Chains A and B, each alone.
Chain A
Amino acid sequence: MVLDKITPYKDASSYNNFYEFGTDKSDPAANAHTLKTTPWTVEVEGLVKKPGKFALEDLLKLSPMEERIYRLRCVEGWSMVIPWIGYSLSALIRKVEPLGNAKYVEFVSLADPKTMPFVGSRVLDWPYVEGLRMDEAMHPLTLLAFGMYGEVLPNQSGAPVRTVVPWKYGFKSGKSIVKIRFVEKQPGTAWNKAAANEYGFYSNVNPNVDHPRWSQATERRIGEDGLFAKKRKTLMFNGYEPQVGQLYAGMDLKKNY
């Protein structure tokens, strides 16, 4: 699917943004061991015919697991290539039968101050909430992931269950998800609420729309581009334009950043 070289596991599991465990890239790997991932349930609620609580074991069996190698582009200007394990989120969505007026899907991450030392810091509103438009959530590329590199997710990468939306900046993919809510109105998402002029709801990877404080035209591939290598060009929709471009046909992507 992707010819890019896979990022070393060591880098992918030691250089993370997961603010519930601290704002430094090395904090999640150092602190996330306190996260308790069993037992784990994901509550599905809102505008669906079949709401309910899914035990992790049931989610694992809901659809066959696949390995998907995706590029991951962080809004900060670096990228990785990660072999995820999971299945299309659409499998779960079909199962719960959204109602006609369900236009958006909201993903709520765990916010447990006892096991997540930085929940309660003023950086963001907790819990961390992310959201997708229904057609984005239903897109086959959108992954509900449980593992990476052939193993279960390490805690710092969002164990035990997370989303992966490879054509959007990394923060759009919620980690350690405990609730999936189907709603009619565009949900308020964590970074959008913190700085709406910097982080839009869509946050599609787009080299032509700069972050107000820095350029998004290039990126550094972690573990591959050496110290003296030039940064590589960022691709439209992180290289997934053929697959997802039509979702945004006719939309002004400068306005809907």
Chain B
Amino acid sequence: MQFVINRELASKGFKPVWFVLSLLPVAWLVLRAVTDQLGANPAEALIRATGDWTLRALCIVLAVTPVRTVWGLAPLAKVRRMAGLFVYFYAALHLLAYAWFDMGFEVTDIAKDIAKRPFILVGFASFALLTPLALTSFHRAIKALGASRWQALHKLVYVIAGLSILHFFWMRAGKNNFGEVAVYAGVLGALLLWRLRRYWLNRKRLL
């Protein structure tokens, strides 16, 4: 079974399939927007859906390495960078939807809103921190930085995950509605714990 999966993952078609699958959520949203299927408040629906998909993309990219290691699916490594860039893609769409539909691209209003609402500030900070990670995701950037510095920089993703959960938590706090927040926090927390455990085991081995 593992062999069959690995053969499929290693095939040439895997990356393009992953790429197309990753675009399906935005395609679905655009389709529903142009056919007026987003309900009474399409702006709100788009802002929220792009936020949801950013969180999901974050869970997916952080799951790539644990899934690859635990189930021995080495070729999954091929899509890790693309999965990471899709986090940035959906985060950028989320920010764009907010800036456009909610704030009408009024820069001073956006600045005031960031200062006024902690959850907006945290979301914005999360996006700002993601930017250097997206910009250094190419081979030449990795070479220029050196592997260890690159890795240290990309550990920022855990800070980003924490800020994203806080952003979502505060957004839902107005209605004391934390069910979904707990699900994302649980998934991201479990993926972080897996890495801590691996780090701890490796260190023991080195000692």
Query: Contact at A210–B116, with CB atoms within 8 Å?
Result: yes
- Given the known A-B contacts A123-B175, A123-B177, are A15 and B40 also in contact in the complex, defined by CB atoms under 8 Å? yes
The answer, yes or no, to whether A230 is at the interface (CB within 8 Å) is yes
Q: How far is the CA of A46 from the CA of B121 in the complex (A)?
A: 47
Q: Which of B39, B101, B174 contacts A227 (CB 8 A)?
A: B101
The A interface, classified by DSSP as helix, strand, loop or mixed, is: loop
Q: Which of B24-81 contact A (CB under 8 A)?
A: 33, 39-44, 46
How far, in angstroms, from A165 to B52 measured CA to CA in the complex?
35
Given A26-B39, A123-B176, A223-B40, verify A228-B100 contact (CB < 8 Å): yes
Binds B, one of A130-138, A154-162, A180-188, A212-220: A212-220
**Is A197 engaged at the interface, CB distance under 8 Å to the other chain?**
no
Query: Would B116 and A230 count as touching, CB distance under 8 A?
Result: no
With both beta carbons as reference points, the residue of chain A lying nearest to B175 in the complex is identified as A23
**Residues of A in contact with B, size category:** 20 to 34
- The complex places the Cα of A210 from the Cα of B109 at a distance, in Å, of 13
Report A76-94 residues with CB < 8 Å from chain B CB. 78
Cβ A213 vs Cβ B117 within 8 A: yes
Q: Is A115 an interface residue (CB 8 A)?
A: no
Closest Cβ–Cβ distance, residue A155 to chain B (whole Å):
17
Tell me the minimal C-beta distance from A81 to chain B in angstroms. Answer: 13
> Hey, what's the 0/1 contact readout for B96-121 against A, CB within 8 Å counting as 1?
00001110100001001100111100
Q: How far is the CB of A61 from chain B (nearest CB, A)?
A: 34
Q: Is the CB of B40 within 8 A of A222?
A: yes
Given A122-B176, A213-B116, A220 contacting B41 (CB threshold 8 A)? yes
Q: Is the CB of B174 within 8 A of A215?
A: no
Pairwise interchain contact A227-B113, C-beta atoms closer than 8 A: no
How would residues 107 to 141 of chain B score, 1 for a CB under 8 Å from any chain A CB and 0 otherwise? 00100110011110000000000000000000000
The complex places the Cα of A78 from the Cα of B40 at a distance, in Å, of 11
| Chain B, Cβ-Cβ closest to A124 | B176
Give A123 to B39 CA distance when docked, in angstroms.
24
Show 5 A/B contacts (Cβ-Cβ < 8 Å), sorted by A. Answer: A25-B40, A122-B176, A213-B118, A222-B41, A227-B46
Known: A15-B41, A223-B40, A230-B104; 13 extra A-B contacts, CB below 8 A, are A23-B175, A25-B39, A122-B176, A123-B176, A210-B116, A213-B118, A214-B117, A220-B41, A220-B43, A222-B40, A227-B42, A227-B46, A231-B104
